[in-house]
A and B are shown apart, each in its own frame.
Chain A
Amino acid sequence: MSQYTLGFSSMDMQVREGEGGITQVVLDGRFDIAGAQEVDLRFSALAGSAKALVVDMAKVSFLASMGVRTLMLSAKTMMRRSATMAVCAADENVEKVLRSTGFDEIVDLYPDFAAASAALTKPKA
C-alpha cells in the first residue's frame, strides 16, 4: 500500500462529539507544514472549548515539527483550562516523534479510541 497520496499537502480533520463529553478529532493525512497550517485554527478553537479531547492519529502517515507544535499548543491550552487531552492510534513513526520530544509526558498515548475514551471518562479518585 502506498504511504503517500498525490496532492501531499492536504490533511482532513473530522470532529465528532462523543459520549461522556468527549470530543474526538480524527486526522487523516500528513501532519507536515501544510497539514499543520490547515488544522491549526480549528485545533486552537477546540482546545479552548472542549472538555475532553481525543486526537485519533490512526490515519496520520507523517508528523514533524509543525504538527508537534500544533499538538503542543493545544495541550498547553487544555492543561491550563484543566481540561484533558489524549492521543490514540499513532503509528510507530508518529509515536517515535511524540516520545522523542517528551510529548507523552504531558499527554497520554493510547492504542485506540476506546481505550483513550475509557481513560478520560473514568472518574478521578
Chain B
Amino acid sequence: MNREFSGTIEAAMDAEGWLAAACQELRLPSETAFAISLCVEELFLNAVQHGGASAVTVALNAVADGLCVEFRDDGASFNPIVAPVRRIEQRCDDFEIGGYGTGLLQKFARRMSYRREGGRNLVALEFDAVRASGVLPAT
C-alpha cells in the first residue's frame, strides 16, 4: 500500500494517522508499528522543515521476515545514513532541542538505504514484522 502527501506539517499528521491505521490493519506487532511511525515522522518533518519538500510518498511493502517502508520526497538532497547522529551525553542545560532524528532512525530501523533518484530522496527502511509470539498474518 502507498499514499501520496503534500509537503506540509498537516500532511505529516495525516500520514501518521494513515500509518497507524495501516499497521493496525496489518496486525503488526506494536513495536514494529511504533518503529515505523517514529521513522516516518522523522523523515517527513525533515523533508518539510529542512528540505522544503512539496510532495512525499510513503509505501509499505512486505519483505522476507519483515516490512519495508519506502519514503520519497522532492526536497533538498539528504542522506540520513551519513548525517551526523546527536545524543545528549551528560547533564547540562545547554543541550540542543532538535537534531536527534538520525539517531532514532538508526536505532529503530533494522536496515536503511538511501539513493537520490530523479531529483528525489528515496529512503528505504526495513523493520522486523515477526516476533517470538507469532508471525505477520498473510495478507
In whole angstroms, how far apart are the Cα atoms of A68 and B34 in the complex? 15
Beta-carbon contact of B41 and A101 below 8 Å? no
In whole angstroms, how far apart are the Cα atoms of A79 and B97 in the complex? 14
For residue A41, CB closer than 8 A to chain B, the reply is no
Q: How large is the interface on B (under 10, 10 to 19, 20 to 34, 35 or more residues)?
A: 35 or more
Question: A122 → chain B, closest Cβ, in Å?
Answer: 18
Q: Given A9-B13, A105-B89, are A72 and B95 also a contact pair (CB < 8 Å)?
A: yes
Once A and B bind, how many residue pairs between them come within 8 Å at the CB atom? 100
Q: How large is the interface on A (under 10, 10 to 19, 20 to 34, 35 or more residues)?
A: 20 to 34
In whole angstroms, how far apart are the Cα atoms of A74 and B12 in the complex? 24
In whole angstroms, how far apart are the Cα atoms of A69 and B91 in the complex? 17
In whole angstroms, how far apart are the Cα atoms of A30 and B20 in the complex? 10
Beta-carbon contact of A64 and B98 below 8 Å? no
For B104, give its contact among A9, A73, A97 (CB under 8 Å): A97
Question: A30 → chain B, closest Cβ, in Å?
Answer: 7
**Interface class of chain A by DSSP:** helix
Beta-carbon contacts under 8 Å, A75-97 to B = 76, 79-80, 92-93, 96-97
Beta-carbon contact of A102 and B42 below 8 Å? no
Residues of chain A with a CB closer than 8 A to B3's CB? none
9 additional A-B residue pairs with CB within 8 Å, beyond A32-B16, A76-B95, A101-B100:
A4-B24, A9-B13, A61-B34, A93-B30, A100-B104, A101-B87, A102-B88, A105-B90, A106-B88
- Sample of 15 A–B contacts (CB below 8 Å): A8-B16, A8-B17, A9-B17, A62-B20, A65-B41, A68-B100, A76-B97, A93-B34, A96-B107, A96-B108, A100-B103, A101-B87, A102-B89, A105-B89, A106-B95
By a beta-carbon cutoff of 8 Å, the part of chain B in contact with chain A is: 9, 12-13, 16-17, 20-21, 23-24, 30-31, 33-35, 37-38, 41-42, 45, 86-93, 95, 97-98, 100-101, 103-104, 107-108
